[in-house]
Homo-oligomer: A and B are copies of this chain.
Amino acid sequence: MSEKKRQKTERAPFDPVRHGLRADFRLTRFTKLKGWCKVPQEELLKLLAGLGSSLNISDGESLGAGLDCCVIPTRHEGISLVQTTDFFYPLVDDPYDQGRIACANVLSDLYAMGVTDCDNLLMLLGISTDLSKPERDVVTPLMMEGFRDCAEEAGTSVNGGQSVLNPWFIIGGVASSVCAKNEYIMPYNAVPGDVLVLTKALGTQIAVNAHQWIEQSETYQKIADVITKEGVRKAYESASASMSRLNRIGATLMRKYGAHGATDVTGFGLLGHAQNLAKCQKESVDFIIHSLPIIAGMSDTAKIAAKKIFDFKLHEGFSAETSGGLLIVLPKEKAGAFCQEIEELEGMPGWIIGDVTSGNHTAKIADDARVIEA
């Protein structure tokens, strides 16, 4: 374990009082939207229609190209610019962790294309005008520090960016890598017989929401039958650690084991991203998902929440993830070794969650899909 990782593990959770703030200070209150706040996909497509192919602001995902990054040939022979951007609103209350998550999330799009080296990060920051000066002085440096530390862990650095004042807190970035042809993996080479591997458990959205519910005793009572407050806190910690974790080792192993393509699981949920990935395949294939690894306790919580609070559609595969895992298409005979090696290197497992069959460019979750408590 590197020095940096050990520091991270040993870091005390954010305590507003220790920083001179009110005990009830919560970063997530400085936005009305948590985490993902994308313009609805349909509306975006309508906006883009008619503007022509020279304007594509959805990273190609929803437009058929199926790429998590843009890949732009340059005027230098054999050299392309691989690039992505993402920013969002706070979804955890620890500013340092929020910074790490934002950084891991933006880098993840590069890793989904098998790019392991980021040449530069830009930081995008909107500091909430609703924060008092003392709050701002505590929160902003911690968030920047988390972002910077995560960048260092990824072997890159932050050079450039923009910071503005905005009603809601915004944190995000731009990740760029200048790549030769053998330094990225196009996502569209799945063949029947391949399998699907997922590198992080699902359920981050329900975990961050449940963590807010335990402070509202009326709401918590609605889920109290299936999970203790301590269980929610553990799930939240798992989610936060998962969202802070880089997908870089996954990207390295994608190259080592000859992945046929990948995407990362974020705002559209596991099935949403699987569908986008299926659509862009060269061969006529389907993706059939047979297993759903879910953060411990969150499967039952999601089920009862769907009835009594809000339906995140976790089991249907549409619950948004932030800084989720890589969904990787691998030759069947390589997948076991991939999962074994990622567990050795990261201390966290990967799961074989589905099959690639002959088909029609669709993805679905099997009726008898099983939940794996992770």
Determine whether the beta carbon of B56 is less than 8 Å from that of A160. Answer: yes
Binds B, one of A150-158, A309-317, A340-348: A150-158
C-alpha spacing A81/B79, complex, angstroms: 12
A110-127 CB mask vs B (1 if < 8 Å, else 0) is 000000010110111101
> A75, A140, A144, A160: which has the most chain B beta carbons within 10 Å?
A160
Inter-chain contacts of A39 with B (CB < 8 A): 127, 163-165
C-alpha spacing A122/B60, complex, angstroms: 12
A80-110 CB mask vs B (1 if < 8 Å, else 0) is 0101111111000000000000000000000
Inter-chain contacts of A12 with B (CB < 8 A): none
Q: Nearest Cβ in chain B — how far from A138, in angstroms? A: 11
Task: Choose among B122, B123, B148, B167 the residue that contacts A168 (Cβ–Cβ < 8 A).
Answer: B167
Determine whether the beta carbon of B164 is less than 8 Å from that of A37. Answer: yes
C-alpha spacing A79/B81, complex, angstroms: 12
Inter-chain contacts of A87 with B (CB < 8 A): 124, 162, 164
C-alpha spacing A57/B123, complex, angstroms: 6
Determine whether the beta carbon of B166 is less than 8 Å from that of A162. Answer: no
Determine whether the beta carbon of A81 is less than 8 Å from that of B119. Answer: yes
A43-81 CB mask vs B (1 if < 8 Å, else 0) is 010011011101111111000000001101011100101
How many copies make up the complex? 2
Determine whether the beta carbon of A164 is less than 8 Å from that of B38. Answer: yes
C-alpha spacing A112/B237, complex, angstroms: 46
Inter-chain contacts of A69 with B (CB < 8 A): 160
Is there a chain B Cβ closer than 8 Å to A270's Cβ? no
Task: Choose among B55, B85, B145, B174 the residue that contacts A144 (Cβ–Cβ < 8 A).
Answer: B55
Is there a chain B Cβ closer than 8 Å to A141's Cβ? yes
Q: List 26 A-B contacts (CB under 8 A).
A: A32-B129, A33-B165, A38-B162, A38-B163, A39-B164, A44-B163, A47-B141, A54-B157, A55-B123, A55-B144, A55-B148, A56-B158, A56-B159, A56-B160, A57-B122, A57-B161, A70-B120, A70-B160, A76-B79, A81-B119, A83-B176, A85-B161, A85-B162, A87-B124, A87-B162, A87-B164
Give 13 new A-B contacts, CB below 8 A, not counting A57-B144, A74-B178. Answer: A38-B162, A38-B164, A44-B163, A47-B140, A51-B148, A55-B151, A57-B161, A76-B76, A76-B178, A83-B120, A83-B159, A83-B160, A85-B160
* Chain A residues packing against B (C-beta within 8 Å): 32-33, 37-39, 44, 47-48, 50-52, 54-60, 69-70, 72, 74-76, 79, 81, 83-89, 117, 119-120, 122-125, 127, 129, 140-141, 144-145, 147-148, 151-152, 157-168, 170, 172, 174, 176, 178, 180
